[in-house]
Amino acid sequence: MKYSYIKPRKKSVISSELHLIFSFFTITLLMLFLTYSFLLFKDYRFAQNKKDIDQKMLELESSVQKMNAQITFIEKEVLLSERISTKNTVLKDSIANLFDLVPQRITLSQATLLKNGLILHGVTPNKDVYNFMLQAPLRSIFHRTYSSFYESDNGWLRFVSTNYIDEEELALESPSYEEKKEVGDED
């Protein structure tokens, strides 16, 4: 016999509302766990990127220091080459001026250019021509001038003229020496 007109339903311990709540909690916990895992991964990647960037920065700093050292070296080389070029130009002009200084009646056979002097070997018709035409200009340039004469077969005189510039007097005459002295006195 039946006491009800509807068919009885099966009853479970977990109702559909409870089942829905557990599903939402599970999904929420899963989402929190996934979010936490994602943030851990991003934090790890950020730390790795930071280490890589720090390493690259150290490499760049060392390469910049190397480049600065190379630039300094190249600048020194440029200054040295300019100094050498200037000295060569001055030497070339000095040699040209030296040969312009020698009169036509005197013949040079050898000219030796020293760091602080000049040695000339040549032939002159007599001592007076040498003294008035060559020795006078040499004395105006050099601080010490010595000459010796030897008679040659044709009656002319061979000469050796040794001329020196004193380094101490040259340093005293130059304006840069006075400037250095003044700068040194200020210290």
Spatial separation of the C-alpha atoms in residues 35 and 23, rounded to whole Å: 18
114-167 pLDDT, tens per residue? 888 889 999 998 888 888 888 888 888 888 899 999 998 888 899 999 998 887
Residue 134: name the closest of 7, 67, 123 by CA.
Answer: 123
The mean pLDDT value for 167-184 works out to 54
- Helix, strand, coil shares of the chain, percent, nearest 5, are 65, 15, 20
User: Residue 79 is encoded by which pair of tokens?
Assistant: 């200054």
The alpha carbon of 49 is separated from its chain's Cα centroid by a whole number of angstroms, namely 35
**Domain at 104-178, CATH class:** alpha beta
Spatial separation of the C-alpha atoms in residues 158 and 172, rounded to whole Å: 35
Spatial separation of the C-alpha atoms in residues 31 and 23, rounded to whole Å: 12
- Asked whether the CA dihedral 54, 55, 56, 61 is positive or negative, the reply is positive
Report the percentage of the chain scoring pLDDT > 70: 88
Q: What per-residue confidence (pLDDT) applies to 45?
A: 97
Phi, psi of 117 (to 5 degrees): -170, -175
Would the pLDDT of 169 be above 80? no
65-76 pLDDT, tens per residue? 999 999 999 999
Residue 130: name the closest of 160, 100, 155, 153 by CA.
Answer: 160
Q: What per-residue confidence (pLDDT) applies to 148?
A: 93
User: Residue 39 is encoded by which pair of tokens?
Assistant: 């943030």
> Mean pLDDT of all residues in the chain?
85
Would the pLDDT of 183 be above 50? no
